[in-house]
Structure 1
């Protein structure tokens, strides 16, 4: 099974990705984790990424696609994967489609987390307060101002993926504001 989780930051994609990994025996592919792993492994694409990151620049779509391409070739990804946080733009989605076609693979679904952005900000503030109360570190992106900027970026770049994947018939919307187990159930229903 090959899936994309689509939705703004804080919508619960990471939580649901882990549930999908456990349920379907697939791997979660996070571009940030893949970039760090490629750099640490010293792969050809990892060396390119390191040079760009060391210069303080954003890694290009070409490098990210190269890292995704390498990663889905690994044995643990043969039974499928869930992409979390990628693609972020229509250009990346088109490049992913081309890459998968070259490998004779296809996506099974794109799960879109529908959310109320104001309630999402409240959720993030609560998450930060709970982490502080538990003596845990607070994530940098759990600051409401930083979070609002990330939401704006999502709307500007990533929201265009909704019509892109709707055209292909792959888009499966779920209520991302529902309790965790209800969201998991809605995803299962959309996939089965």
Structure 2
């Protein structure tokens, strides 16, 4: 019997032949915890992005989840939303996670967006490098607009005239995704979409 990754309540699962053959996705959180997350299901166009999709709102349950996952380094929580991400990120587009600066990677001990994709078994490619360590939440709107580019292409990277999907954990102002999309489009990408787990209120 599995236990909920968030509240540790035992999760009773009905036996099935799919489960025995590992064809059925395991439930990682209990129904009570699952109900606390509020779906957003936002799909819209953004400057420099052909489409941005966000799955959940940034409510109290999601804030606690993100804090425990990213800042308390509970890597096991990467699996909580694996089914939702896998259903959304299927197709032939190249999946590009928003990268962390190497210094931030050392501080956090793991790349949280990479882990979300790995546990969901979604192939991805690192095409971008972060140029600075500043966090967007620490800057005003005027400061964000005046910033130098946040990303550059990794050395030796060739961008094809095809579709790319940027993936990040949370959308707040869109600055990070717009900077990343601009680099890809200027390098030759035909279409750049984005997917985020969370949409925060601005």
TM-score by length of 2: 0.30
Tell me the TM-score normalized by structure 1.
0.31
Task: Compare the two structures and name the one with the higher helix fraction.
Answer: 1
Bigger CA radius of gyration: 2
